[in-house]
Amino acid sequence: MKLLKIFCLGLCISLSACQHSAIKSQTVATKPVQEASSDIDYTAFKKNKANHKPVVALVLGSGGARGYAHIGVIEVLEQKGIKPDFIVGTSAGSIVGSIYASGKSAQELRDIALKMQVHDVRDFNIKMQGFLDGKKVENYVNKHVGNLPLEELKIPLYVVATELKHGEKVVFNKGNTGQAVRASISIPSMFIPANINGNQYVDGGLVSPVPVNIARELGADIVIAVDILAQPIHTETTNLWGMFNQNINIMQSKLAEEELKNADIVIQPDLREKAHIFDVKGRELTMQAGIDAASEKMEQIEKLFENQPNIKSKFYSAQQ
């Protein structure tokens, strides 16, 4: 599975040249997702700015099974009383982000992750465009968010996907949450593209593996980004599949590097080996990597907050 994913991504990575395409939002009815007639509402956080409250965004990047590290990061932030004004998620980050945005605690996220079974999310449907359908992922997410559409989640969520025909970066922010996540995680040639209102969508990691710029464009004053991409320096390159893997890692790292320059805090868990998505022991180790990485950044985060008294009073009240 891992080797096939690497190969499929290698075939489709050319879409990454569209990384600077204009952002589109999707207005979504509960079923199915419907396209918007206008762009994202960039005034959504105007009230915060009017009250001189800095807007804090949590950006959760793509990375397959490394996505469990996002849960560890959220655990540390939650312990410090830090909760974002909104979340931007790509691929694996959109799965964790959606369930967290529905109101689940970090402990609930951990419990859900450890209980997940193969049959919960994997459904074979062999077609010319792929062999995994993605419908079970959609249903799994909707189950855990209580079937809430994106606009009704307790924390606003923006889900990044790639429009297949033109390779454009698209942001879903209304409607069927599970369907938006399904689009964001649909690895080309592995997952059948998600069909939404007549258009096909695939993995958001192709165009924005760690979508910091979207958070900025939406009005974030403070951006905490979690980068779970494989680091090229740790990739095995002595065999054919390792070389495929390295090609993808280098290209995605370069994409992410430019966006990460615009983040205030970058958390990069030490994930040198990619655990299998259904390996329970691997899940726990990956979550711990997220905890360790976030803990190492807490002094930097606290200093940042000290320079923003409104953030401190808003997020640290529970500790005073």
Identify the H or E element spanning 112.
Answer: helix 106-115
Band (240; pLDDT cuts 50, 70, 90) = low
Residue with tokens 């190969």: 7
pLDDT of residue 316: 44
The end-to-end CA distance of the chain, in Å, is 48
This prediction has a pTM of: 0.82
Contacts of residue 120, defined as CB under 8 A and 6 or more positions apart, other chains included, come to 136, 140
Active-site residue list: 91, 203
Among 223, 235, 226, smallest CA distance to 293 is for: 226
Contacts of residue 218, defined as CB under 8 A and 6 or more positions apart, other chains included, come to 40, 42, 44, 45, 57, 86, 88, 158
For residue 184, pLDDT beyond 70: yes
Q: Which of 175-179, 230-234, 243-247, 314-318 has the highest mean pLDDT?
A: 175-179
In the predicted model, what is the mean pLDDT of the chain? 80
Which residue has better confidence, 39 or 205? 205
Helix axes 135-144, 177-184, angle to 10 degrees: 130
- Mean local confidence (pLDDT), 276-295: 86
pLDDT of residue 245: 61
Considering the domain 58-315 in this protein, what is its CATH number?
A: 3.40.1090.10
For residue 29, pLDDT beyond 60: no
Q: 32-75: per-residue pLDDT in tens?
A: 444 322 357 777 776 666 666 789 999 999 988 899 999 999 99
For residue 290, pLDDT beyond 60: yes
Band (313; pLDDT cuts 50, 70, 90) = very low
Among 90, 50, 55, 99, smallest CA distance to 224 is for: 55
287 is written with which tokens? Answer: 């979550």
